[in-house]
């Protein structure tokens, strides 16, 4: 397929490479930043562009991978040939935000994964959640998805939004807690590798069990002495104290038995 890509951030970066690897032609690539669009275009043999008017492009599909907050403005400015598939890659935005794109067959092509440019991603393992304005568009997006991923599912806007909310807890907030734990090790000059088996086991366990049923630690044991001592140790970090207190309360208020 000939695919145009709008956005060359973390998602566009990995998506473009996966699509090219699967044999698709990426062109053009739009990004507001000249350096960014030129860098990614070079990487996947595409043309960079500074224009959102793609009416003279051969693209059969346009994938929009811009920050959620920029999506409405991009949709309003984008111009495509009638009948072109235009899909965004956002977890939280509705399909209808693309109604502004005149003449387009609209859809959603949401890769449920965390992307950083510095970390390669095996796209075959990334679930792709697809939605479209009509059945033929959905089928084409589904086929496009299957060319790069083993897991492609049709999910409508409401369910996708809930999935995205769950992903914020499972990934973004979890990552922040792992950052805090690393900071606490660094402040005490402790070797970072000591926590790695624990982190890996925590995740291995939740692949097989409901996390609520395998909760461990001072909070679930209602070990108030240890909780108080930890809060004391965090007294230089009032925000971390607050997080510690709130998550301890939440663990203690959550039913643990199946």
Interaction with its own copies in 36-55: which residues (CB under 8 A)?
A: none
What's the min distance (Å) between Cβ of 61 and its own copies? Answer: 23
Candidates 30-38, 44-52, 78-86, 183-191; binding stretch for its own copies (CB under 8 A) = 183-191
Q: Which two tokens stand for residue 15?
A: 């998506």
By CB under 8 A, tell whether 200 contacts its own copies: yes
Q: Which two tokens stand for residue 60?
A: 């059969």
Inter-residue contact 212 to 205 (CB < 8 Å): no
By CB under 8 A, tell whether 205 contacts its own copies: yes
Which of 45, 67, 77, 99 is in the footprint of its own copies by CB under 8 A? 67
Strand order across the beta sheet in which 85-88 lies: 48-49, 25-30, 2-6, 61-64, 85-88, 105-111, 128-132, 152-154
What's the min distance (Å) between Cβ of 80 and its own copies? Answer: 25
What's the min distance (Å) between Cβ of 251 and its own copies? Answer: 5
CA 117 to chain centre: 12
By CB under 8 A, tell whether 95 contacts its own copies: no
By CB under 8 A, tell whether 180 contacts its own copies: yes
**Nearer Cβ to its own copies, position 47 or 210?**
210
**Nearer Cβ to its own copies, position 20 or 114?**
114
By CB under 8 A, tell whether 2 contacts its own copies: no
By CB under 8 A, tell whether 6 contacts its own copies: no
By CB under 8 A, tell whether 214 contacts its own copies: yes
Please give the Cα distance from 200 to 39 (Å, whole number).
Answer: 34
Of 97-136, binders to its own copies (CB under 8 A) are: 112-116, 118-119, 121, 125-127, 129
Of 218-257, binders to its own copies (CB under 8 A) are: 218-221, 223-226, 229-230, 233-234, 239-240, 242-244, 246-247, 249-251, 253-254
Q: Which two tokens stand for residue 119?
A: 């970390």
Candidates 40-48, 56-64, 137-145, 190-198; binding stretch for its own copies (CB under 8 A) = 190-198
By CB under 8 A, tell whether 162 contacts its own copies: yes
How many residues are present in the chain?
258
By CB under 8 A, tell whether 167 contacts its own copies: yes
């Amino acid at each position: 397929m000939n695919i145009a890509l709008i956005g060359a951030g973390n998602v566009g970066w990995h998506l473009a490479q996966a699509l090219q690897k699967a044999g698709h032609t990426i062109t053009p690539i739009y990004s507001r930043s000249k350096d960014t669009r030129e860098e990614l275009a070079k990487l996947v043999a595409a043309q960079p562009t500074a224009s959102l008017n793609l009416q003279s492009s051969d693209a059969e599909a346009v994938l929009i991978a811009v920050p959620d907050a920029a999506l409405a403005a991009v949709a309003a400015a984008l111009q495509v040939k009638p009948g072109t598939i235009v899909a965004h890659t956002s977890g939280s935005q509705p399909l209808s935000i693309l109604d502004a794109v005149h003449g387009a067959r609209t859809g959603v092509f949401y890769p449920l994964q965390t992307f950083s440019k510095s970390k390669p991603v095996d796209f075959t393992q990334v679930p792709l959640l697809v939605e479209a304005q009509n059945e033929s568009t959905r089928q084409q997006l589904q086929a496009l998805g299957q060319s790069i991923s083993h897991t492609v599912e049709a999910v409508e806007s409401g369910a996708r939004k809930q999935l995205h909310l769950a992903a914020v807890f499972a990934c973004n907030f979890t990552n922040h807690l792992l950052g805090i734990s690393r900071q606490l090790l660094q402040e005490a000059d402790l070797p970072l590798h000591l926590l790695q088996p624990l982190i890996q086991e925590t995740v291995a366990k939740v692949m097989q069990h409901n996390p609520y049923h395998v909760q461990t630690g001072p909070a679930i044991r209602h070990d108030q002495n240890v909780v108080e001592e930890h809060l004391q140790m965090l007294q230089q970090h009032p925000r971390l104290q607050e997080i510690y207190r709130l998550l301890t309360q939440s663990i203690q208020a959550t039913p643990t038995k199946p």
